[in-house]
Amino acid sequence: MNVIPAIDLRGGHVVRLRQGDYAAETIYPASPAETAFAYAAAGASALHVVDLDAARAGAFANLPAIEAIVQSVRMPVQAGGGVRSDADLEALFRIGVARCVVGSMAVRHPEVVLEWIARHGAARICIALDVRGDSDGVFRPAAAGWTEAGAATLFELLATYSDAAPGLTLLCTDIACDGMLSGPNLALYARIRAMYPQFALLASGGIRDAEDLRALRALGCSGAIVGRALLDSPAAMPALIAC
């Protein structure tokens, strides 16, 4: 299982949100490129970058910072936030992003995203579904930087993508866990793995330590996106990334 450090960008800074709340933001002092270089030095083999401003507003706001990250490290960078059109995809590919992460469009317009997958290949597209569970345990994907709820349930939407391409990468985040260091939603990932084993599943949200990573590996997750646990404990970076 690949441990992939996350770099969330807002206003050109590296930040973390708590449960997707833009008002509950922690800003980290290192620049995006410095943060990427630190992850590379700690042994990371890939990075996950999100333009949070673009995710909410729908227009790239941190493209120069993403390009600086790509140029500062010799490893694949997957990036997203605000990808709404062919031009957005091309803009990310043009600056060297290896895989585009598509969130709101994957929720609102799966037919368009399926066409992107057919055109660019499953290896170049990651569908990112950030979900909230209700009191009945039903998860619904969010859109627009977690500010809107989609109409379909998570598993209804997964059925739409299930036959798109072998090995399509699915990034699923339980928003209730995100930024909380409370542990990942193992039951949710176990259910996804049982129902849709064809996805290359990336887990995200709440990951605290090596024990959480081992639990996700045991479920068959292909990777884990780790943010706050690495940013808040720089000394632990090499050990966690090596898990």
DSSP state of 236: G
> 74-78, 105-109, 112-116, 175-179: which range is least confident on average?
175-179
Write down the mean pLDDT value for the chain.
Answer: 93
Above 90 in pLDDT, residue 212? yes
What predicted TM-score, i.e. pTM, was given to this entire model? 0.94
Mean pLDDT over residues 105-121, rounded? 95
Mean pLDDT over residues 97-122, rounded? 96
Closest CA to 213 of 193, 229, 231: 229
- 3-class SS string, 35-101: HHHHHHHCCCCCEEEEEHHHHHHCCCCCHHHHHHHHHHCCCCEEEECCCCCHHHHHHHHHCCCCEEE
pLDDT at residue 150 in the model: 67
Above 70 in pLDDT, residue 21? yes
pLDDT grade for 178, boundaries at 50, 70 and 90: confident
Judged by DSSP in three states, 9 sits in strand
> 64-78, 96-110, 132-146: which range is least confident on average?
132-146
DSSP state of 31: -
Judged by DSSP in three states, 231 sits in helix
Above 90 in pLDDT, residue 56? no
Which residues, in sequence order, are CB contacts of 136 under 8 Å at separation 6+?
none
- Chain segment 120-167, per-residue pLDDT in tens: 999 999 999 999 998 888 999 987 766 667 678 999 999 999 987 778
Which domains are assigned to the chain?
2-241 (3.20.20.70)
The rounded distance, in Å, linking the Cα atoms of 113 and 31 is 32
Above 70 in pLDDT, residue 214? yes
Count helices and strands (H / E) in the chain: 11, 12
pLDDT at residue 145 in the model: 63
Q: Would you name the residues annotated as active-site residues? A: 8, 130
pLDDT at residue 151 in the model: 75
pLDDT grade for 10, boundaries at 50, 70 and 90: very high
Judged by DSSP in three states, 128 sits in strand
Percent of the chain scoring above 70 in pLDDT: 98
The rounded distance, in Å, linking the Cα atoms of 39 and 74 is 11
